Amino acid sequence: MLKYFCEPTYKTNVVFVGVEINEITDLDFKKLTHQLDFYLWFRFQGDMNTQNIKFFNAAEPINIGEPIAVEKVGFQTRHLYRIKGRFKVDFLPNRYAYEQHTLGISFYSSDLTRHNRIYVTDILGIGLTKRELLERMQNAQILSPIYDWSINNVLLFPDIISKHSLGSLKVQKDQIKYSRFNAAVPIQKNDFTLRRTISPNLAKYILILSCIMLILITLYSKLFSYFYKPLWFFQIFLVFLVLLSSEVILIDTLMFDLTRHHLKTLIMTFDVLWWIMPAFFLNLLVNRFLWIPLEERTGRAIPNVVRRFMATIIYLLACFGIIAFVYEKPLTSLLATSGVVAMIIGLAIQVNISNVFSGIVINLERPFRVDDWVKIQIGRVISEGRVVDITWRTTRISTQDGYILSIPNSAASEAIVHNYNYLQEPCRVSLKLRIDHAHFPEKVEKILLDAVLSTVGVLNKPSPSADFAGFSDWAADYSVSFYVSHYAQQSIHKKQVWKRIWIHLHRAGILPAVQRQEIYTFKGVKEKGREEAIKPMALLQEIDVFQPFSEQHKAYLSEQMRHYRFSASETIFHQGDEGSNSLFIIVEGVVSIYVRLENDQTLEVARLGAGNFFGEMALLKGQERTATVIAMTEVCLYEIIKSDILPLLQEQPQVLQRINNVLNQRQMNTDQMKLPPDLPIEKEVIHKWIFRGILNFFSLGK
């Protein structure tokens, strides 16, 4: 028996469908539903039963109801409906990216298969292209901006769906196919994300190129050490490119293989990384360009508590950003709680925090440094001394009284600070004194200037000065100004200058004016006149090299001394001169002693004023002049020659040893000026050499 199967014939009705969406509201992405208000129309020939239309994505029963408008022209009929209802989101069988959804409707006729009815898009009835329809929907704002979502496409298309026959006798197959019509509106979140700025294909090239450059920089970093800072920032930029491209590639690859929950977890992981990575690099940036340079500048390590405090602040801000922008949780309660905790901690350690941060500011701004001599005024209290240490909590100063003063950094940062070493310039010292009216100002100014110039340690440049400042009720006022190399030395040099001033005034027969008040009787102090002060006998009494001689011998020498006067800048004798076996005693003025070094340069080894002497080596040993002597100001001198002192040494040979001790000390001082500081001087050799030279020169025996 043969069986023949014949395909049945069908009468197929073509229905043109059009949709115009009026409004999309009440988006609920937790339940994946939305409210839709739209127009739906059908154009067909003959009759059409619309009551059996079923909405494929209806979230609740939808009754199409009666048409609000019916038109019939010839064989053509149009039914227009307005429908409001709740529909499901993402109803199409596509896979959706994170933060992308599809809204709209999908319906079919449950009583007619695709052989009986086919839905077709009513292009003529809609009258717009796809782009024009999208622009009209965007301009009409059918999706309110308050939802922070935007429409990026419009899709109107028919397709075929299959339903199980459930054993129906009307069909011979287990699947029944229906014609379905879809009106889809894809939307996406308005949030800006870097992952949307580059395509997956471009991300692959960026990832490969960034990895290659990072490897090359790591391998050849020593070649680019000069460009360390720009290279460091470029490496950070490459790391961010690697993170961005990895995110785009990974999400694009796994988008259709992961569930929505897993995809959301993956994206949130990258979102967290986008907060953690900048915090990590910012902490490195602070360490590399703030803490390390600060340690190198101050020579001390940054306290770990400061490093950890700054790192905690950075990572805490990153955590707040993650909570607020990744997990979208309010920060109000968290900030309130953390604010209370921070307030409690801050009140407990506010003094220490203030001192630490003030220490950081002091080390950055550097109003004073270690070894600077400063005067700090806090209120009415003035403290002066040398800065010996600047910690993160206190500044320590060694005072002139010999104790250490610790000042909290918070107080030091607000104090008035006088820094005498900040500009590395000489320190100016001023003195004021009063002299009797009877003396001419020009003469007194010269004597004062001679006294300053003859003081060891006073700088030649800037030049010192002595000025007549006017008259007071009982004396004439004078001021003396000079410069020293360091403020710490000014107290010592000031004392030395005062001593030299007294000596020079004494030589000139002048004493500083002192205001006296006699109650009963006061004989006063008789000033030594100039004539007596400059007598040869008075000079010999005060010169150490002549102290071993008796009074009779000193009187003999004073009668033999010769008087000379030299103008300023005039050379008294040159280094290497021979045959001038004489010693000079300064009565008035200042001379400068220069020695010639091996490299033909000259070095000033001393400046001598009134009461000093020079040329003793030529007088007592007969050797050539060992230095060049130049008058700095107008100078008055007495000269003693060999023939004057020889008879005295023959009568008192025992004084040679005492004279030798004085000359030995002066020779060592001169040699120390010419030699490096770390090279020792052989004192015993110099002592024997000088003593032997004196004996030989005066033929006093071996």
CATH number at residue 500: 3.30.70.100
Same domain, 627 and 676: yes
Same domain, 442 and 487: yes
CA distance linking residue 624 with residue 659, whole number of Å? 19
Is residue 154, in this structure, part of any structural domain at all?
yes
- Whether 497 maps to a domain, the answer reads yes
Query: 655-674 vs 683-697: helix axis angle to the nearest 10?
Result: 130
Asked whether residue 480 is domain-assigned, the answer is yes
What type of residue is 657?
A: Q
Tokens linked to 354: 């203030």
Residues 608 and 643 in one domain: yes
Q: Are residues 37 and 177 in the same domain?
A: yes
Domain termination residue (choose one: 159, 189, 219): 189
* The two three-digit tokens of residue 209, written as one number: 């190129």
SS3 assignment for 447-486: HHHHHHHCCCCCCCCCCCEEEEEEECCCCEEEEEEEEECC
What tokens were used for 502? Answer: 């007294």
Q: Are residues 478 and 571 in the same domain?
A: no
Same domain, 579 and 693: yes
Q: Is residue 183 part of a domain?
A: yes
372-to-296, 298, 494 alpha-carbon distances in Å: 18, 13, 19
Q: How far apart are CA 192 and CA 163, in angstroms?
A: 41
Query: How do residues 487-528 score in pLDDT, each as one tens digit?
Result: 777 888 888 899 888 888 887 888 787 765 554 443 444 444
**CB count in 10 Å sphere of residue 452:** 26
- Do 46 and 169 lie in one domain? The reply is yes
- Domain end position, chosen among 167, 189, 211: 189
Q: Domain end: 137, 159, 189, which one?
A: 189
Rounded distance, CA 91 to CA 84, Å? 18
pLDDT of res. 676 = 54
Residue 115: φ, ψ to 5°: -75, -25
The verdict on 31 and 175 lying in the same domain is yes
Q: Are residues 469 and 618 in the same domain?
A: no
Let me know whether 26 and 150 are in one domain: yes
Burial 78-111 (b: 16+ CB within 10 A, else e): bbebbbebbbbbbbbeeebbbbebbbbbbbbbee
26 inside domain? yes
The beta strands (E) that lie in 391-458 are given as 394-399, 404-408, 416-419, 427-435
Q: Which residues of the chain have pLDDT under 70?
A: 1-10, 94-98, 167-172, 192-196, 225, 256, 260, 298-300, 303, 305, 333-353, 363-365, 392, 422-424, 515-534, 579, 654-655, 658, 662-663, 665-702
- Asked if residue 359 is part of any domain, the answer here is no
Give the CATH number of the domain where residue 163 resides: 2.70.170.10
Residues 90 and 173 in one domain: yes
Q: What single DSSP character describes residue 5?
A: -
Instruction: Give the residue among 528, 536, 511, 641 at the shortest CA–CA distance from 586.
Output: 536
Cβ–Cβ contacts within 10 Å for residue 474, how many? Answer: 12
Identify whether residues 550 and 464 lie together within a single domain. no
Residue 178 lies in a domain: yes
Asked if residue 342 is part of any domain, the answer here is no
CATH number at residue 599: 2.60.120.10
Measured distance CA(453)–CA(466) in Å, rounded: 11
Range of the domain at 41: 13-189
Count how many domains the chain has: 3
